[in-house]
């Protein structure tokens, strides 16, 4: 856990136990009706307890333990005395939380709780330990679905409430294992909705809460007054590394999509594609377009014949809302689309320059996979020896979390050693030129590096910046 004097956004690396979810939701008689929202009117009302809700949800909250192998480099000087400088391996452990979302042992947690794990263990509320396997790991949403095998036993599960009925001011509970002290329940309210400027994932539209969330709570449930899961606790904003009353949970709508995908047997989430590159609409941009206020998202670019272009959206249009829900930044737009399925129709409210507004219907598609990946690991006496490269397509960009509008060409997806690692080539780099030859496909790159030369001149694009380097050949 990093400690800083400035507020920082922290993923809660120790997990929170989360309860299992089922599609059907029961309503105990001693809980208030779902539609009632009342401020306590007297001292007797204020003495009411959350105990019935905790009894319903807490048995479905689990601890998730993961182990991964970490390689550490030995200082060259000390390496003369310690194993000759050979990199050492150690076992790193992390503790997180999760929710049983089906009685047959399907468990929901955060991706960052189990990232890189070689072994995962789940401890249920009755202190039994279970080996777990990964059904689906979705780094872009920071969610993972696990499975344990309880046999014929039906485990307690928590329902996922994706009705989007959450309102600012609603009472909520956070359940988990902060700091590894044991299952803990904290309460608070929903402080804000649709927080999309947290930089935690590509589909940020978090529920913000002041319920205390600390390291160890990651992956655990945020629970409403029906005892249902309305979010997965994921991050905190803190200057000290502990709760400061600003916590963030992934909404149930996105959670349910990931769980449904895993239960359908898929190992990756295929999200719908709008074929549009969104951009934040600033006040100056709004004025130049003749708009009264910077409400909406600018369509900075469109994919030729993509879903948005086919529906009549044009470059420079402003997307005001998606299915009636306002969007004011790119991540909010991404989230609104990501919770839908490929093939679904979505209604966009669009403003042209000058303020005229119209409604268009867009049929979402899957990102196209052309050109084909043609994945290749380079070898031989050249600067890219050891690098794995592919042709970039919208589908590949979606899988890698890249911007498909950053340009077609050859992108590095991995560096396994060799000269590329020593040179500092990184995943996400675009290889643009080799010795003056433009590189547009994997095939053209393979041909360009086939013949060794005395000096290589290479051009790489990284994060929008062009890097030109000369490398002496072997």
Question: Could you list the active site residues?
Answer: 112, 142, 218
282/284 Cα distance (integer angstroms):
5
DSSP 79: H
354/287 Cα distance (integer angstroms):
9
Compute and round to an integer the Cα radius of gyration of the chain: 25
How far is residue 454 from each of residues 435, 438, 448, 474, measured CA to CA in Å?
11, 19, 14, 7
Query: Is the distance from CB of 430 to CB of 411 less than 8 angstroms?
Result: yes
How far is residue 171 from each of residues 192, 202, 326, 369, measured CA to CA in Å?
12, 27, 24, 45
H or E segment at 123?
strand 119-123
H or E segment at 419?
helix 418-423
Query: Is the distance from CB of 117 to CB of 108 less than 8 angstroms?
Result: no
Q: Which residues contact 307 (CB under 8 A, 6 or more apart)?
A: 273, 274, 275, 362, 363, 364, 365
How far is residue 241 from each of residues 16, 236, 238, 246, measured CA to CA in Å?
16, 8, 6, 12
How far is residue 434 from each of residues 271, 283, 312, 422, 428, measured CA to CA in Å?
35, 42, 39, 18, 17
Instruction: Give me the count of residues in the chain.
Output: 474
Query: Is the distance from CB of 62 to CB of 18 less than 8 angstroms?
Result: yes
Closest CA to 351 of 321, 319, 323, 309: 319
Query: Which string of b and e fits 215-234 if b means at least 16 CB within 10 Å?
Result: bbbbbbbbbbbbbbbbbbbb
337/300 Cα distance (integer angstroms):
17
CA–centroid distance for 448 within its chain: 37
3-state secondary structure 239-278: CCCCCCCCEEEEEHHHHHHHHHHHHCCCCCCCCCECCEEE
H or E segment at 331?
helix 330-338
């Amino acid at each position: 856990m990093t400690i800083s004097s400035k507020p920082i956004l922290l993923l809660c690396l120790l997990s929170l136990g989360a309860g299992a979810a089922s599609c059907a939701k029961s309503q105990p008689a001693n809980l208030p009706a779902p539609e009632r929202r009342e401020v306590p009117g007297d001292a007797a009302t204020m003495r009411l307890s959350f105990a019935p809700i905790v009894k319903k949800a807490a048995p479905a909250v689990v601890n998730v333990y993961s182990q991964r192998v970490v390689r550490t480099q030995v200082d060259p000087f000390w390496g003369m005395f310690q194993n000759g400088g050979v990199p050492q391996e150690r076992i790193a452990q992390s503790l997180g939380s999760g929710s049983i979302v089906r009685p047959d042992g399907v468990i929901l947690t955060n991706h960052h709780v189990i990232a890189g794990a070689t072994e995962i263990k789940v401890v249920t509320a009755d202190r039994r330990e279970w080996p777990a396997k990964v059904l689906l790991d979705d780094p872009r949403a920071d969610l993972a679905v696990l499975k344990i095998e309880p046999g014929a036993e039906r485990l307690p599960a928590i329902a996922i409430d994706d009705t989007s009925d959450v309102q600012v001011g609603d009472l909520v509970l956070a359940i988990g294992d902060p700091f590894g002290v044991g299952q803990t329940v904290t309460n608070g309210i929903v402080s804000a909705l649709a927080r999309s400027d947290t930089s935690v994932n590509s589909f940020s539209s978090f529920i913000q809460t002041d319920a205390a969330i600390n390291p160890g709570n990651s992956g655990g449930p945020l629970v409403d007054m029906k005892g249902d899961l309305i979010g997965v606790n994921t991050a905190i904003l803190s200057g000290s590394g502990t709760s400061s009353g600003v916590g963030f949970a992934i909404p149930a709508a996105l959670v349910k999509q990931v769980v449904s995908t895993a239960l359908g047997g898929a190992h990756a989430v295929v999200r719908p594609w709008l074929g549009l590159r969104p951009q934040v609409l600033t006040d100056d941009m709004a004025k130049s377009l003749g708009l009264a206020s910077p409400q909406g998202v600018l369509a900075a670019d469109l994919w030729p014949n993509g879903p948005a272009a086919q529906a009549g959206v044009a470059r420079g249009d402003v997307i005001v809302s998606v299915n009636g829900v306002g969007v004011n930044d790119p991540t909010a737009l991404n989230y609104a689309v990501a919770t839908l399925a490929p093939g679904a129709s979505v209604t966009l409210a669009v403003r042209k320059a000058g303020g005229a507004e119209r409604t268009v219907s867009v049929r979402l598609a899957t990102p196209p996979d052309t050109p084909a990946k043609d994945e290749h690991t380079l070898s031989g006496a050249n600067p890219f020896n050891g690098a794995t490269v592919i042709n970039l397509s919208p589908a590949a960009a979606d899988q890698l979390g890249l911007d498909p509008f950053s340009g077609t060409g050859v992108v590095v997806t991995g560096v396994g050693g060799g000269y590329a690692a020593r040179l500092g080539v990184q995943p996400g780099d675009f290889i643009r030129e080799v010795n003056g030859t433009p590189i547009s496909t994997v095939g053209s790159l393979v041909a360009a590096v086939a013949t060794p030369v005395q000096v290589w001149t290479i051009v790489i694009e990284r994060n929008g910046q062009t890097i030109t380097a000369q490398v002496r050949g072997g």
